[in-house]
Structure 1
Amino acid sequence: MTDTIRNRIREIIAEQAMLDVEQVTDDATPADLGIDSLGLVDSIFALEEEFDITIPFNANEPEKSEFDISSIGQIISAVEKLVAAKA
């Protein structure tokens, strides 16, 4: 299931950034992928809808949120935790 979640997150982010999914690597930051703040919000909404989760509104403030958006790998990890907590 984790690989399925990981792959689907990459697909969603690639779609939002208009990139090939192979370009969406764990160490890439949203900025590296050309995702601006509006694109990041769109990506977050898409992830919430896909996985039926709620991402904290302050995810862009790492000191105030456990949801880290600093890299794609961190986003994947945070979404996996929210999905696991929901189960």
Structure 2
Amino acid sequence: MSIERQVIEIIAEQALLAPSDVTRDATLAELGVDSLGLVESIFAIEEAFDISVPFNANEPEASEFDISTVGSIVDAVEQLVKEQK
């Protein structure tokens, strides 16, 4: 399974949506994912890919991890996975 597919499935689960309803240009807010859902998504992504996401839930805007859209999250996870190998 591709990284993009896995990330979308994780976010869809948090949003209580079908993965097919989650697009790369959607924001988490548009999908109905709140701050707790975001944190749970980050934990699930870290676990799924065995990576450490540079994200501070207390200061999301200060994080290096771009959470502006689903696509930006996918791109950031792909980069983290690449860097880990």
Which TM-score applies when normalising by structure 2? 0.90
Partner of 2:40: 42
- Following TM superposition, by how much is the alpha carbon of 1:17 offset from its aligned partner in structure 2, in angstroms? 1.1
Alignment of 1:6-85 (within 5 A): 6-58=4-56, 60-61=60-61, 64-85=62-83
Structure 2: tracts of 5 or more residues without a match: none
CA distances 1:9-31 after superposition (whole Å, capped 9, x unpaired): 11111111110101110110000
Separation of aligned partners in 2, 1:68 and 1:81: 12
- Following TM superposition, by how much is the alpha carbon of 1:67 offset from its aligned partner in structure 2, in angstroms? 1.2
Structure that is richer in helix per residue:
2
- Following TM superposition, by how much is the alpha carbon of 1:72 offset from its aligned partner in structure 2, in angstroms? 0.3
Q: Number of paired residues?
A: 83
After the TM superposition, which segments of 4 or more aligned residues of structure 1 sit over 4 Å from their partners?
A: none
Separation of aligned partners in 2, 1:66 and 1:44: 13
Structure 1: tracts of 5 or more residues without a match: none
